[in-house]
Amino acid sequence: MPLNIPNIREQFPILESVIYGKPLAYFDNAATMHKPRRVVNKVTEVYEKLNSNIHRGVHYLSNQATTAYEEARQKVQLFINATHSHEVIFTSGATGAINLLANSFGESYMKPGDEIIISTMEHHSNIVPWQMMCKRRKAVLKVIPINKNGELILEEFDKLLSPKTKLVAVSYVSNALGTINPIAELTQKAHANGSLIMVDAAQAVQHIKVDVQALDLDFMVFSGHKIYGPTGTGVLYGKEKLLNEMEPWQGGGEMIKTVTFEETTYNELPFKFEAGTPNIAGCIGLGEAIDFVSELGLENIQSYEDELLDYATKEFLKIPGMRIIGTADNKASVISFLVNNIHPFDMGTMLDKMGLAVRTGHHCAQPIMDFFGIPGTLRASFAVYNTKDEIDRLVQGISKVTQMFG
């Protein structure tokens, strides 16, 4: 069903911003997305009408806040099609979720000499926590290589799998290249080898339907702020059995059943993994963001964004000297690029003066930049509120800067 884009844009007050006298055209959606008014209002409403700590009080407001928080968990459950709502652990973001998993999984399952497989195209958040865990547990980190289009080399993945592989931790969509990885195939191969899989869906859930049961994922993480929700929110999904087996990472309030100075017993799921007061208003706001996405329909969002990606790719390639980094067959709405030898920072700064917000740098994915032998790229990433007119302005802006640099 075609989306009513002008109507969608009206729901995002920030899109009316004027930057250096020019209307804002925001292409930094992979870094964070803007929030529709209903999400902002929901967070305000929590503070104005519900504010109270959850799962603790007998009083009215505490019960109201607890109900709203747990309803948000159920919205996430339905959105990712988890079997139980207690398989949804609220975290501070994808980074928080991966650190939780790396610590708990490491403590519970990894022995010296065990192996974990990641890929060359991971975000630092899906590299560093595993490196730290491998150091602690004397485990081995292996890396799936990519080809020059920015796609995983699956035959090499097959060779890396071994009886010692405990976990495969890969991104669904690369933030720096836009590549959509063949998660169903990777999962099937990991499981056939007796290994578990964790999918970093930080750049996927806002574009593609991620059904954890259909894909048979063991773990999955994402960030709320990249799916039109508040910052400081995120999710770790895990299969009930695995979460039950795992040791908690952080200790504190809410994650305990009983505490004495001799011993502590832990709470049941999901609370075992949610020590301390969580981001109550933020998580309720994330539930509202999920409603926003679900009401538009992810398939509608995806087909509109695919249209933007195709259009932008064709128009970008008309610019002399344009080099797109990440040319996989299957891509989400992210374009990383360089033009001639213009430094991304210079181009990005000049585009900013035209009201065009793109990201520049290594995008927290330095191994990808090393692979392509470049210091960084410019990156334009599209959300459902972007338009072809905005892309035309971006193309004109890039062309103008290119001409200025001769």
Nearer to ligand C6P, 123 or 239 (CB): 123
Residue owning tokens 């006298």? 21
Per CB under 6 A, the list member of 165, 187, 203, 360 interacting with ligand C6P is 203
Q: Which stretch binds ligand C6P (CB under 6 A): 10-18, 118-126, 240-248, 350-358?
A: 118-126
Burial readout 353-368 (b: 16 or more C-beta within 10 A, e: otherwise)? ebbbbbbbbbbbbebb
Q: Is 404 exposed, middle or buried (0-12, 13-18, 19+ CB in 10 A)?
A: exposed
Per CB under 6 A, the list member of 119, 175, 360, 386 interacting with ligand C6P is 175
Residue owning tokens 């919205």? 75
User: Strand locations in 172-217, DSSP E?
Assistant: 196-200
Nearer to ligand C6P, 139 or 180 (CB): 180
Catalytic status, residue 134: no
363 counts as binding ligand C6P under rule CB under 6 A: yes
Q: How many residues bind ligand C6P (CB under 6 A)?
A: 17
Catalytic residue, candidates 24, 31, 364, 374: 364
Reported as half-sphere exposure (CB side, CA atoms, 13 A), residue 287 has a value of 22
**What minimum distance in Å lies between the beta carbon of 318 and ligand C6P?**
26
Q: How many CB atoms lie within 10 A of CB 79?
A: 25
Reported as half-sphere exposure (CB side, CA atoms, 13 A), residue 13 has a value of 5
**What minimum distance in Å lies between the beta carbon of 340 and ligand C6P?**
24
Q: Is 262 exposed, middle or buried (0-12, 13-18, 19+ CB in 10 A)?
A: exposed
Q: Which stretch binds ligand C6P (CB under 6 A): 245-253, 287-295, 300-308, 358-366?
A: 358-366
289 counts as binding ligand C6P under rule CB under 6 A: no
**What minimum distance in Å lies between the beta carbon of 221 and ligand C6P?**
8
Nearer to ligand C6P, 66 or 91 (CB): 91
Nearer to ligand C6P, 30 or 269 (CB): 30
Give the orientation angle of helix 128-137 with respect to helix 94-109, to 10 degrees.
20
94 counts as binding ligand C6P under rule CB under 6 A: yes
- State which amino acid sits at residue 198: M
Strand order across the 88-91 sheet: 88-91, 234-238, 219-223, 196-200, 165-171, 115-119, 140-144
Residue owning tokens 């080898």? 193
Q: How many CB atoms lie within 10 A of CB 214?
A: 10
Per CB under 6 A, the list member of 66, 103, 119, 125 interacting with ligand C6P is 125
Pairing of strands 334-339, 377-381: antiparallel
Task: Say how far apart CA 270 and CA 264 lie, in whole Å.
Answer: 17
Task: Say how far apart CA 186 and CA 191 lie, in whole Å.
Answer: 9
35 counts as binding ligand C6P under rule CB under 6 A: no
Nearer to ligand C6P, 65 or 80 (CB): 80
Per CB under 6 A, the list member of 114, 200, 274, 305 interacting with ligand C6P is 200
171 counts as binding ligand C6P under rule CB under 6 A: yes
Asked whether the beta carbons of 365 and 174 are under 8 A apart, the reply is: yes
Per CB under 6 A, the list member of 46, 161, 198, 202 interacting with ligand C6P is 202
Per CB under 6 A, the list member of 77, 95, 195, 336 interacting with ligand C6P is 95
Pairing of strands 264-266, 256-259: antiparallel
Per CB under 6 A, the list member of 42, 123, 207, 393 interacting with ligand C6P is 123
**What minimum distance in Å lies between the beta carbon of 111 and ligand C6P?**
27
31 counts as binding ligand C6P under rule CB under 6 A: yes
298 counts as binding ligand C6P under rule CB under 6 A: no
Nearer to ligand C6P, 31 or 298 (CB): 31
Among 205, 177, 210, which residue's Cα sits nearest to residue 330? 177
364 counts as binding ligand C6P under rule CB under 6 A: yes
Per CB under 6 A, the list member of 39, 50, 79, 93 interacting with ligand C6P is 93
Asked whether the beta carbons of 143 and 151 are under 8 A apart, the reply is: no
Nearer to ligand C6P, 331 or 359 (CB): 359
378 counts as binding ligand C6P under rule CB under 6 A: no
223 counts as binding ligand C6P under rule CB under 6 A: yes
**What minimum distance in Å lies between the beta carbon of 335 and ligand C6P?**
13
Enclosing H/E stretch for 76: helix 60-80
Pairing of strands 256-259, 334-339: unpaired
> Which residues of this chain interact with ligand C6P, rule CB under 6 A?
30-31, 93-95, 123, 125-126, 171, 175, 200, 202-203, 223, 359, 363-364
Catalytic sites, residue numbers: 364
